[in-house]
Amino acid sequence: MGGIGRRRFLRSIAALAGAAALARALGPLRVAAAEAGERGVTVTMFRRAGCPWCHAWDREIGGIWPKSDVGARHAMRMVDLDTDPMPEIALDRPVRFTPTFVVARDGAEIGRIEGYPGQDFFWGLIERLVAEAEADDAGSGASTN
């Protein structure tokens, strides 16, 4: 393995180790298929191991999501497309890109963000989708989750 190849390989291993540590820390937030009858607003991140944009989200947003206004109201549920069962969300279309963030109300997709546009754009997009879902939720009389 050449000098540049070896450095790139070691950086990749370090990135994967960091992503694995975050996934273990977020383990309780993982979604299970048995969550039938999910009520209220949910936010789900669909991801894959080795996804560089998922790793960027983990690094830039993952640690502060629970401390944000929207994160305090709605835990980010993590779904690994390769290993986790699909959650019971009626998706508008299949998830093809990672990361994909799906905001749902009462188990039905309200909207999504495909890809990670960076933290500056992400916050505005996710807050708009969640506000739309919460407004619809308030109109139906259901409580948010």
- DSSP bridge partners of 47: 80
Whether 20 has a pLDDT exceeding 90, the answer reads no
Greater model confidence, 141 or 30: 141
**How far apart, in whole angstroms, are the C-alpha atoms of residue 84 and residue 52?**
19
Top-level class of domain 3-140: alpha beta
Domain locations in the chain as residue ranges: 3-140
Whether 11 has a pLDDT exceeding 70, the answer reads no
Q: Which residue type does 103 have? A: V
The residue with tokens 């990135």 is 15
* Three-state SS sequence of 23-39: HHHCHHHCCCCCCCCCC
Q: Which residue type does 142 have? A: A
Segment 56-113, tens digit of pLDDT: 999 999 999 999 999 999 999 999 999 999 898 999 999 999 999 999 999 999 999 9
Greater model confidence, 30 or 94: 94
Q: What is the pTM of this model?
A: 0.70
